Amino acid sequence: MVDPLSVAAAAFQLWALVVVFFIVLPAMFGVSLGVSGVYIQILVRILQWATVRIQRGRHEQPGAATPSTGIIEHSGGSMEEELEQLRLSRRPEAGEFTLSDVIYFCQKGLESIVEDQVTQRFSSEELASWNLLTRTNQNFQYISLRLTVFWVLGVLVRYGVLLPLRVALAVIGLWWLVMGTSVVGFLPESSVKNWLSELVHLTCYRICARGLSATIHYHDKENRPRKGGICVANHTTPIDVVILANDGCYAMVGQIHGGLMGVIQRSMLRSCPHIWFERSEMKDRHAVTSRLRAHVCDKNKLPILIFPEGTCVNNTSVLMFKKGSFEIGGTIHPVAIKYDPRFGDAFWNSSKYNMVSYLLRMMSSWAIVVNVWYLPPMTIQEGEDAAHFASRVKSAIARRGGLLDLAWDGGLKRGKVKDCFREEQQKMYSSIVVQNGSQPPGAIRAPHEDE
Amino acid sequence: MGSSSSSLSHIPDGQQLMGETGFSAAHLLRLHERFELLDKDSRGHLRPEDFEEIRELTENPVGGRIIGAFFPPEKETLDFPSFVRILAHFRPTGKNRSRDRTQPEPANSRTGKLKFAFKLYDQDRDGKISRDELLQVLRAMLGLQVTEEQLQSIAERAIQEADLNSDGAISFDEFKKSLEKVDIEHKMSIRFLK
C-alpha cells in the first residue's frame, strides 16, 4: 500500500531538487539553460495565433468596438495660418490681438478633449491583440471555442505550475539576500567584503529575476554605470530595481520601511552602504542632497540608483524628471527600460493594487521580457541649470527606449494648471500679436477712425 | 453586437440626449467611449483632474478656462449628459433639423457658439467683458512674453475697437458684432470622421 502522504512528500522533494539544481544554482552563476528562451518563442507563436483568430473574429462581427485611431478632423494649419483665417475680415495692418483669437485656442482645446494625441499614460497600455490574460481583456468578447480552451489551459499553467514555482524562487531569493548580507556584514571592511557583498546581491537578484520569469536583454553594456556615478532610469514598477541589479551593483536610495521590507533593507545595509532615509528626513531636501552628494564623491562607493520621475508610469512614455536628482553633481548614467507588453503588463498602478497583489499578478503572468539600454554618460554643461539638464537626459532616455517624451509632471495636482508648459504656445502667439517688437508700448490709436 | 440602437442602450437617456444635442447615435457612442476613457477610475463622472491629464489641454493657454466651462463654480463632477451638452456647442452647424420657434436656440447655432466663446472671456458671468477680464485672458495667452505696458495697450485697443456704446466693457452684442465676419460655424466645430 502506497501511503499518499509519502508519495506527496517524495514528489515535493523531487520538485524542490529540480528547482534548486536547475533554476537556483544556474541563476546564481548567471548561466542559462536555454529553457526560458524556448518558452518565450513558444509563447510568441501562440500569442500570434491568438491575435489572428481575434482579428478574424472581429471581421465577422462588424459592430465590434475598434480602438479609435482618429475620430475627428483636426484643424491642420499652424497657429499663424489659423489665426489669419480667423481674422480674414480684419484690416490688413492689424497684426495685433483680436477678440477672435481666442477661438483658435478654444477650438484646439475642445479638439483635445474629444481626442488627444497622447493616450492615457496612467492606465495600462491597451493592446491591439489579446495576450490570453483576462486582465488585459478590456475590449474582447467571446470569439471562438478554441481560443477559450487555450485561455483555460493558460490559466491552469500559470496558476498551477508557474505561480508556485515563482513564489518559491522569490522566497529563496529573499531569504538568501537576508542571510547572505548579514553574514557578510560580520566581516571587517576590506575588498574581499565588497566583492562578497556584490556577489550576494547579484545572486539574489538573479534568483528573484527567475522568480518573475524575467528575460532581460541588456544593450550597450560598455556604458554600464561606474562607481561614483548616478544611475538614472525611467520607472514603471518596483521590479525595475531587480531588472537593473541583475547586471551590476547599485546603492539603493529610498525610504526605510517597516515590516519585511525594513528587514531586507537593514540587512542590505550591513554589507554595503545603501542610502535609506527616515520618513522625516525625506522632507528636508538639503539633507537628502548632501547625503547623496557625500556618497557620490567617494569614488569607491557603488553608483546610486535613482528614478527621477518620482512615480510609476505605464511604460509608454517618460514624464518630467524631478530636478533634485540632477543637482547632486557627478556623472549621470542614463538607462532606458522598456517592457514588452505582449507578455504581461508590468506597470504598477499603485492606486489600484497594493504591493502584494501586484507581485502576485506579476508572478502569474506569462513572463516579463525587458530591454535595457545603457546610454553613454552625461554631465551638466556650463551655464545649464538642473531643470534643463534633467529634460536633456529625459529626452535621451525616451528616444533610446522608444517611449514618448512628455513634458508634464507625474505629480500634477488639481486646481493649478502649470504655467511653464504653455510657454511654447504663448511664445508663438506673442510673436504673431506683437510684431517684431515694433509696436510702441504706449500707442493707442484714435478710436473708430474709419467707421 | 446588434444594431446601433441597442448599443445606445448602454447610455442612460441616450435617445433623449440625441434629440437634445442633435448628435447622431454613432457620434454619441464615440463620445461615450471617450468619456469612459477619460474617467479612468470608472466613477461614472469626470473631475477637473481628469481633464488636466490631457496634455494638450494643459499646454493650451486658455486650457484652464475651457475646463472651467465644463465645471461651473459649484459643481465638481461632470456626468455624461452634461459633458455632451457642452460639446453640443461644437457640433457643425447647417444640419439642424427644422425646429419651431418655441424650442430653445440650439447650442451649435452661431449664437450658441459665440456665447460659449464669450463665456471664456466673461468669467464672472455678468454679461460683459470688462477691461480686467480681457487683461486676464491676454495674460493667459501671452504669459511673460510681453511687458505689462504692452498688455495694457493691447487690451485698451481691443476695447476701443469693439466697445460701441463706450461703456468701457464689451457686451455680448458688441462681441457678436465684432466677430460678425468671422466664420464661426466652421472654426468652432468638431467634425467627426466617417
Low-confidence ranges of chain B (pLDDT < 70): 1-7, 94-104, 194
CB A63 within 8 A of CB B2: yes
Does the distance separating the beta carbons of A106 and B188 come in below 8 Å? yes
Residues of chain A positioned with their CB less than 8 A from the CB of B1: 61-64
Does the distance separating the beta carbons of B150 and A88 come in below 8 Å? no
Give the pLDDT of residue A122: 42
Positive or negative, the Cα torsion across A210, A211, A217, A220?
negative
Residue A2 lies in a domain: no
Residue A118 lies in a domain: no
CB A82 within 8 A of CB A104: yes
DSSP A125: P
Residue A408 lies in a domain: yes
Does the distance separating the beta carbons of B90 and A434 come in below 8 Å? no
Ramachandran angles phi, psi of B46, nearest 5°: -105, 155
Give the pLDDT of residue A163: 84
Alpha carbon distance A214, A32 (integer Å): 12
Residue A165 lies in a domain: yes
DSSP A221: G
Give the pLDDT of residue A142: 60
Q: How far is B104 from chain A (nearest CA, A)?
A: 23
Residues of chain A positioned with their CB less than 8 A from the CB of B118: none
**B13: burial class by Cβ within 10 Å (0-12, 13-18, 19+)?**
exposed
Q: What is the 3-state secondary structure (H, E, C) of chain B?
A: CCCHHHHHHHCCCHHHHHHHHCCCHHHHHHHHHHHHHHCCCCCCCECHHHHHCCHHHHHCCCHHHHHHHHCCCCCCCECHHHHHHHHHHHCCCCCCCCCCCCCCCCCCCHHHHHHHHHHHHCCCCCCEECHHHHHHHHHHHHHHHCCHHHHHHHHHHHHHHHCCCCCCCEEHHHHHHHCCCCCHHHHCCCCECC
Residue A226 lies in a domain: yes
Does the distance separating the beta carbons of A406 and B184 come in below 8 Å? no
> What is the domain extent for residue A214?
145-413
Best residue in B35, B51, B187 for a mutation probing chain A (most A CBs within 10 Å): B187
Contacts of A105 (CB under 8 A, 6+ apart): A425, B60, B61, B62, B141
Distances (CA, A) of A395 to A281, A383, A398, B60: 31, 19, 5, 22
* Tens digit of each residue's pLDDT (9 = 90 or more) over A387-441: 788 888 888 888 888 776 665 554 443 333 445 556 777 777 777 777 644 444 4
Distances (CA, A) of A252 to A107, A206, A255, A425, B10: 47, 17, 10, 40, 49
Q: Give me the tens of pLDDT residue by residue for chain A, a chain 451 residues long.
A: 678 888 888 888 888 777 777 777 777 776 666 677 777 778 777 777 776 776 666 665 544 444 444 567 766 667 777 777 777 655 444 457 778 888 888 888 888 888 765 544 444 444 444 555 555 544 455 666 777 777 788 788 888 888 888 888 888 888 888 888 888 888 888 888 888 888 888 888 888 888 888 888 888 888 888 888 889 998 888 888 888 988 888 888 877 777 777 888 888 888 778 888 887 777 777 778 888 888 888 877 888 888 888 777 777 777 777 777 788 878 889 999 988 877 767 777 766 677 778 888 888 877 888 889 999 998 888 888 887 888 888 888 888 887 766 655 544 433 334 455 567 777 777 777 776 444 444 344 334 433 3
Tally the domains of chain A: 1
Element (H, E) at B157: helix B148-162
Does the distance separating the beta carbons of B143 and A62 come in below 8 Å? no
Coil/strand/helix, residue A247 = coil
CB A344 within 8 A of CB A134: no
Q: How far is B193 from chain A (nearest CA, A)?
A: 5
Residue A264 lies in a domain: yes
CB pairs under 8 A between A and B: 207
Give the pLDDT of residue A70: 55
Cell numbers at residue A78, please?
499652424
Does the distance separating the beta carbons of A106 and B120 come in below 8 Å? yes
Residues of chain B positioned with their CB less than 8 A from the CB of A87: 182
CB A188 within 8 A of CB A158: no
Give the up-direction half-sphere exposure of residue A433: CA atoms within 13 A in the CB hemisphere.
28
Alpha carbon distance B188, B191 (integer Å): 10
The structure's pTM equals 0.56
Give the position of cell 495694457: B152
Q: How far is A447 from chain B (nearest CA, A)?
A: 6
Coil/strand/helix, residue A295 = helix
Give the pLDDT of residue A439: 44
List, as one string, the DSSP characters of A38-104. HHHHHHHHHHHHHHHHHHHHHHH-TTS----S--B----S-HHHHHHHHTTTS-TT--S--TTHHHH
Q: Which residues make beta-bridge pairs with A218?
A: A372
Residue A425 lies in a domain: no
Does the distance separating the beta carbons of B143 and A114 come in below 8 Å? no
Of A71, A108, A414, the CB nearest to B48: A414
Does the distance separating the beta carbons of A105 and B62 come in below 8 Å? yes
Coil/strand/helix, residue A19 = helix
Of A111, A423, A448, the CB nearest to B143: A423
Positive or negative, the Cα torsion across A315, A316, A322, A326?
positive
Alpha carbon distance A89, B182 (integer Å): 7
Tell me, what's the ipTM?
A: 0.87
Cell numbers at residue B163, please?
466697445
* Tens digit of each residue's pLDDT (9 = 90 or more) over B100-112: 556 667 778 888 8
Residues of chain B positioned with their CB less than 8 A from the CB of A71: 30, 192-193
Give the pLDDT of residue A374: 92
Residues of chain B positioned with their CB less than 8 A from the CB of A423: 143-145
Cell numbers at residue A89, please?
475680415
Of A100, A351, A445, the CB nearest to B179: A100
Of B63, B87, B158, the CB nearest to A417: B63
Residue A326 lies in a domain: yes
